[in-house]
Chain A
Amino acid sequence: MSEPRSDKNVNVSELSSVTVRFAGDSGDGIQLVGTQFANATAVAGNDLSTLPDYPAEIRAPAGSLAGVSGFQISFGDDSVLTPGNKPNVLMVMNPAALAVNLNNLDKGSVILANSDAFSQAALAKAGYTSNPLEDGSLDNYRVIGVPANTLTENALKESGLSQAQVLKCKNFYLLGILFWMYGLPLGPTKDRIKSKFAKTPELAAANARVLEAGYDYAETTEILDARFQLKKSPVAPGKYRNLTGNEAAAYALITAARLLKKKLFYGSYPITPASEILHTLSKHRSRDVVVFQAEDEIAAMCATVGAAFGGELAATGTSGPGLSLKTEAIGLGVIAELPMVIIDVQRGGPSTGLPTKTEQSDLLQAVYGRHGECPLVVMAAASPADCFNTTLEAARIAVKYMTPVIVLSNSYLSNGSEPFRIPKLSELPRFQVSPLPAPEDFKPFMRDPQTLARPWAWPGLKGYEHRIGGLEKADGSGAISYEPANHDRMTALRAEKVARVAKEIPPTKVNGEAEGELLVLGWGSTYGAITSAVAKARSAGLKVSSAHIRHIFPLPPDLETVMLRFGKVLVPEENTGQLATLLRSEYLLAPLGLNKVQGQPLNADEVLAKIKEVLGGN
């Protein structure tokens, strides 16, 4: 990265990682400036992790506590695993944003506030009786009040824009100050603004101008006495982009279809927080990326089953309530033994629950939530970029074993982002489909002896015409069968086929010693928090290791052995103990739980505190 331009003599501290939180009204462009900041830190060579935090209402009343939108980013030189716990710097666009976020801020942290927004009326809306920027209540923090409205107006005096348009740019003023604090170069971001606002070049110019004005303000005024220089991250060489979990899942589906040399069919119904998969794929629609917005969740699932029957790579995405609606049709996919990927971006439940908040509470629904004996493969992604790898692997398993596969993501992964190294085609796994026998030897429910997959013959292939459906099939021929022993056999075959997917699972990786007092075992989005907490605990001398599983059903074949090498096993989950329940039923082992069901991600401090509690001592 280029050296930040500065003539000012200030105290430059070298940091290894830092967390910044942007907060303001839903309409303040918080996600926009957060994303710009994230991209700038990434281009500067930092590892990073981000998490947007939206209110459920699209536009709650301006200035209200309910309308506060947030965007948090951690970046630095280590492998940054979570968007951080407590921010070191909080940027607030109004008093409500301060009120909502102050209790999550350590004393001594920096508060960068738009002081122009702290009017009597705005203070009252946020529940303040006096102005916290002035009344001494924030004396334990480093408060930087900047009259961003006024300064933005000054910067754009000559622009010819309306007052409303001018004030829309004020978020970039504060962003400019943050760029200065972290020594980030302005050039790449100005270019990005230009392309982002390509249709309104006057707004692009205004935002870039205001960004620069903010930077210069920080450079020349006395209110800032510190800036930070981040050490460069040791990031593997390659081409990178920033991806959210939902974008990563969408690109994985496109990639899977290419590797399979088939069309991708994505049938979906809008639902928070999964809709961005639909949006991303819709942007890439082509003859080979077919996106179908169905009339409801059931139709989305049924169309996906239909496309799988039609011989294409079929997928759908949803969240918990949608998965519930899809279950009957998923059962059809199981008995018809068709390949498909079902992405469940979990959110707080039950029912409408907390639609924009995160949770891990669909695990048991994914594993068991269908009528009849209805096994399928369940996998879980650990980080935003891992949504790519997990979804790609899910598609590979689906077609190899002719089975539906559920991928569990969640709100935290879907909206969060991190740098994703763009893989080369040659690095990607090969997709394998059982070859079709000659038409005269074909039977719809004959099986590959290794995988037990049935042959995939789709409409259009001459000589393989056949009828399938939801009724029980005779083993081999696929004719309707009510024969008792056949149903028993087919039930066992379907279960055995899914059980054989365990052969695809690599050995469980243990971070730390392979045996010891405590294993912290996680799945899904808690990866960052668990790994950070265990690293801290180990550097404090505690005998603790961690492992994170991608395969929920079937479980990794070595998992029981791995668990038995430890005195205790702790399973942190954002639910009341769903993986723990599964582990108990599979292995008759009783892990300890750390359970949080608040719609907020588990953080490393909470995991660390629990590790200390379990291991005794401090």
Chain B
Amino acid sequence: METKLTAKDFSSNLPVKWCPGCGDFAILNMVQKTLAGMGLPHEKYAVISGIGCSSRLPYYVNTYGFHSIHGRAAAVASGVKLANPDLAVWVITGDGDGLSIGGNHMMHAIRRNIGLKIVLFNNRIYALTKGQASPTTQPGTKTKSTPAGSIDYPFNPARFAVGLDCTFVARGIDNDIPGTSAILERAARHNGTTFVEILQKCVPFSDKEFDPIKDPATREDVLLRVEHGKPLVFGKNKDKGIVFRNFRPEILAFSGAVPPEVAVYDETNAEMAYLISGFTQPEFPVPLGVLLSTSKPAFEDLYYAQVEAIGNTKEQELETLLAGPDAWEIK
């Protein structure tokens, strides 16, 4: 319908102020590329963020953007989307913003299945405030607020979203451009709430956090790339598979052909998604990819369908509406 847009068209040309080497640069490029690929003009996008390093992103995207307050991006975005259901509304948040101070709004946005494209940058640290433990900081991690090591049990963001019956849940990582780009593109086309967790390193405060799952020498033994309809196989030599025994997942080592008892991933199966998204190191490989994709009407669709069915008060004369059924006339 119009000239093809590129990632560059979606850059606001402002100097990007993240630390050199930050994983956010890669995510920004992927988001810009995804928006460009949707065939929607700039003005149809609203990119809403909270507070944190990740939440700077809207300034760098040449669309409508709103850098709101800490934790509230999903709530602000819900107002934007419900009032203007034709807009593509993206929510940019982080582990602290989206799951700590903003946990309630995150939970309820997902519960409603409102059409927000939520991208949660998970660096497992409060970076903008210079290094305190976040709700995804791993146990034992020493931070400025946990000098003896964190004793909080962490959230697993993807599993949190699966547990809430989010209709689209995926996990990507900042250095996996093709995989994460594919996830974002699918999220962009999904109807309803999408929740994409992107593992992302923070150079000053969690630089080594994801080294084992990024190092080309080791990563294939600790990553599980899930794909709908494909067996759950991992390992450098593709010689390990996931099997379920009495609903418990186990790792089965094999050689040669994939044994039939290795589970085949079904992204429409919420129970399977719950079990797989719960995988953490060191017991299990870390799953990446689209974990859950189901379909149910989005909140805004239900809302506008319901008001159409109720009847259209907008065409009612204002004076008739104000009068109601019980008015009387004084002459």
- Give residues in A with beta carbon < 8 Å to B: 39, 42-43, 45, 192, 195, 235-242, 251, 254-255, 258, 263, 265, 267, 284-290, 292, 294-296, 298-299, 302-312, 314, 328-329, 331-332, 336, 422-425, 458-471, 479-480
Contact = CB atoms under 8 A, between A and B. Distances in A.
Contacts of B303: 290
Contact of A468 (B63, B67, B82, B86): B67
Given A239-B327, A468-B66, A285 B307 contact: yes
A469 B66 contact: yes
26 contacts: A39-B326, A45-B330, A238-B329, A241-B327, A255-B322, A285-B306, A287-B307, A288-B314, A290-B82, A292-B78, A299-B105, A299-B108, A306-B48, A306-B77, A309-B66, A309-B79, A311-B84, A312-B83, A425-B318, A459-B46, A460-B87, A465-B62, A465-B63, A466-B65, A467-B65, A479-B14
Contacts of A329: 69, 72
Nearest to B324: A241
B215 interface: no
Nearest to B43: A462
B304 A295 contact: no
Contacts of A462: 41-43
B314 A287 contact: yes
Contacts of A238: 329-330
Given A284-B313, A299-B108, A314-B79, 18 more contacts: A239-B328, A241-B323, A241-B326, A285-B306, A286-B311, A286-B312, A287-B304, A290-B82, A295-B107, A299-B105, A310-B79, A311-B84, A336-B66, A422-B322, A422-B327, A463-B43, A468-B66, A479-B14
B75 interface: yes
B87 A480 contact: no
B319 A424 contact: yes
B67 A471 contact: yes
B79 A466 contact: no
A306 B75 contact: yes
A303 B307 CA distance: 19
B104 A295 contact: yes
B58 interface: yes
B77 to A, nearest CB: 6
Given A305-B79, A329-B72, A459-B45, A239 B323 contact: yes
Given A241-B323, A299-B105, A460-B87, A304 B318 contact: no
A236 B79 CA distance: 41
Contacts of A470: 51, 67-69
B313 A265 contact: no
Given A238-B330, A239-B329, A329-B69, A299 B87 contact: no
A310 B328 contact: no
Contacts of A242: 326
B178 to A, nearest CB: 29
A393 to B, nearest CB: 16
A431 to B, nearest CB: 13
B321 A286 contact: no
A469 B82 CA distance: 20
A13 to B, nearest CB: 24
Nearest to B65: A467
B325 A195 contact: yes
B330 A298 contact: no
Interface in B42-58: 42-46, 48-49, 51, 58
A292 B326 contact: no
Contacts of A331: 69
B245 interface: no
Contact of B75 (A237, A303, A311): A303
Contact of A298 (B67, B72, B306): B72
B328 A241 contact: yes
Contact of A303 (B43, B79, B306, B314): B79
Given A241-B328, A302-B75, A307 B12 contact: no
Contact of A299 (B49, B59, B75, B308): B75
A302 B62 contact: no
Contacts of B248: none
B153 interface: no
B296 interface: no
A460 B79 contact: no
A328 B67 contact: no
A467 B66 contact: yes
A213 to B, nearest CB: 24
Contacts of A303: 75-76, 78-79, 82
A235 B252 CA distance: 87
B318 A459 contact: no
B310 interface: yes
Contacts of B76: 302-303, 305-306, 309
Contact of B330 (A240, A296, A312, A459): A240
A464 to B, nearest CB: 7
A469 B68 CA distance: 5
A465 B14 CA distance: 14
Given A43-B328, A241-B327, A459 B44 contact: yes
A464 B43 contact: yes
B254 interface: no
Nearest to B12: A467
B82 A286 contact: no
Contacts of A467: 12, 58-59, 61, 64-67
A251 B14 CA distance: 44
Contacts of B310: 285-286
Contacts of A251: 321-322
Q: Output the residue of B14, B46, B51, B87 with the most chain A CB within 10 A.
A: B46
A295 B327 CA distance: 36
Contacts of A195: 325
B107 to A, nearest CB: 8
Contacts of A312: 83-84
A294 B72 CA distance: 12
Contacts of B324: 241
B160 to A, nearest CB: 16
Contacts of A422: 319, 322-323, 327
A306 B304 contact: no
B84 A310 contact: yes
B49 to A, nearest CB: 8
B67 A469 contact: yes
Contacts of B326: 39, 192, 241-242
A251 B327 CA distance: 14
